[in-house]
Structure 1
Amino acid sequence: MIRKQAFTVLLLELLLFIFIGTFVFIVSKIAEWIEMQFPRKQKPPRPRRRREIKADLDVLYRSYQQGLLDEAQYLDQSDELIDQLADFYKQGAPPEQRLLY
């Protein structure tokens, strides 16, 4: 009698586990379908600020001084950052960010 009750409890637990697993799987597939049908609108990337570009230039210069970059790598990367800084000023940076320190 006790074995039959234990077997019944075990069988009910397994069936419950299967039903819950199936339910969670179906819910995840529905959520995935909704995400595919209605994708989130991505925010436009935030423009870089002058201080961020200057900080990157400082890190690049320190890396070059420590010998982590050779001269060609340093010049290529610094040219790109200087171009970004020039574009920043061409686009008309706000007055509080135009000050050079």
Structure 2
Amino acid sequence: MHGPNFVLAIIAITMTAWVLNNLIRARHGYSISDDWGRNIDRSNPEAERHLRLLTSENERLAGQVGRLEERIAVLERIATDPATRTAREIDALRDR
């Protein structure tokens, strides 16, 4: 490569690497950096508040998923158990 082509290739490689770096960082939950490598979200108090809200919502949803998994396990057990055993258990619950 000669002169301008070499410079353009370096610029293209650098910009591609920067875009890929930010895509990978965003996918894995890291803050995105600007042109000089500084994290954008660090100076933004609104981003901190948003992160706290997302964290609390994530905890709430994780609890909800756990409860739903338990309910699904019970429904699967009912669906796969023999009918006579399920009938006996229902009758035992009625007698309580």
TM-score, normalised relative to structure 1:
0.33
The structure with higher relative contact order (CA 8 Å, sep 6+) is 1
More helix by share: 2
Q: Which has the larger radius of gyration?
A: 1
